[in-house]
Copies of this chain bind each other. A is one copy, B any other.
Amino acid sequence: MNTNPPAPLFARVALLGIGLIGSSLARAMRARPGLAGEIVANARTEATLARVRELGIVDRTETDPAAAVAGADLVILCAPVGTYESLAAAIAPHLAPGAIVSDVGSTKRSVIRDVGPHIPAGVHLVPAHPLAGTEHSGPDAGFAELFDGRWAILTPPAGTDDLAVARVRSFWEGCGAMVETMDADHHDRVLAIVSHLPHLIAFTICGTADDLADESRGQVLKFAASGFRDFTRIAASDPVMWRDIFLNNKDALLEMLARFTEDAQAMARAVRWGDAGYIEDKVERGRAIRRSLIELNQA
């Protein structure tokens, strides 16, 4: 008669970076004990790690990423994507045989480009991107339910070990997410239009509005509640994270911005020449598409 609990999915999980996403993962693992035996956290600053110890959301903290990954069977990069290459170089010699390296970054081609070459033989790279977040950052901002009912997209390179992919899928499902697998190119194009371009626009239009300050500062500030405020809500997110996302999804982002700009210029031309039918068609179409998105997401 065996009364021991079943072994957890991963015996030791190392989180490199422990902000909103990393600390939410730590809390999600704590909330479902079958996912991880030991949770180890590394962060860029000792102050962050001290705060993580106060919060009591991991089992151990390590100031050296190499020490954090030693003996871990799952390593998750939870730092801005611009740090991945140096993190990968630092941890590569210390990865355990058979370990899985994953991440939570918003760009996926860049992960394969920056991390892939450092992965030793016998270690598996399974990039992942949970489509979840809030406008807050840091280890205090996380919560165990962040991934509940949200998508996590896996982008394993061709030839990745099936069992490693299946284990990462189980991990995200265990954290409450729905899992989809696609190739990194596809991911980056889809995210460019549904997330990266809207963020670029939101950041930009705030600046455009502020540049009117000399003429209209008081009024712009006073009346911004009207539409502008909701429209720019997503501009509240972390600047370093977004700088890295823009730089690491350059091709798809520039292509989507070019397509959007063409469409906006066509609308501008219709406005200039008073083409009421064109404008009404486009407005109606945008509205219908938005409505179908909502219905699909609610279905």
Contacts and interface: CB of A to CB of B under 8 A. Distances in A.
Contacts of A258: 268
Nearest to A198: B231
A259 B213 CA distance: 13
A193 B207 contact: no
Given A203-B287, A206-B289, A194 B224 contact: yes
Contacts of A274: 247, 250
A232 to B, nearest CB: 5
B254 A272 contact: yes
B259 A225 contact: no
A275 B86 CA distance: 19
Given A222-B151, A227-B199, A231-B234, A216 B186 contact: yes
Given A286-B202, A286-B206, A286-B235, A131 B225 contact: yes
A253 interface: yes
Interface residues of A, number: 90
A210 to B, nearest CB: 5
Interface in A203-240: 203-212, 215-216, 219-237, 239-240
A107 to B, nearest CB: 12
A190 B223 contact: yes
A61 to B, nearest CB: 28
Nearest to A257: B268
A73 to B, nearest CB: 29
Given A260-B205, A279-B247, A194 B290 contact: no
A88 to B, nearest CB: 19
A145 B236 CA distance: 29
Interface stretch (A19-27, A32-40, A115-123, A291-299): A291-299
A109 interface: no
Given A186-B219, A201-B205, A263-B204, A243 B276 contact: yes
A267 B239 CA distance: 14
Interface of A: 82, 131, 151, 153, 180, 182, 186, 189-191, 193-195, 197-212, 215-216, 219-237, 239-240, 242-243, 246-247, 250, 253-254, 256-261, 263-265, 267-268, 271-272, 274, 276, 279-280, 282-287, 289-294, 296-297
Given A186-B216, A198-B232, A233-B290, 10 more contacts: A151-B223, A193-B216, A194-B224, A203-B287, A204-B263, A207-B285, A208-B260, A210-B289, A254-B271, A261-B261
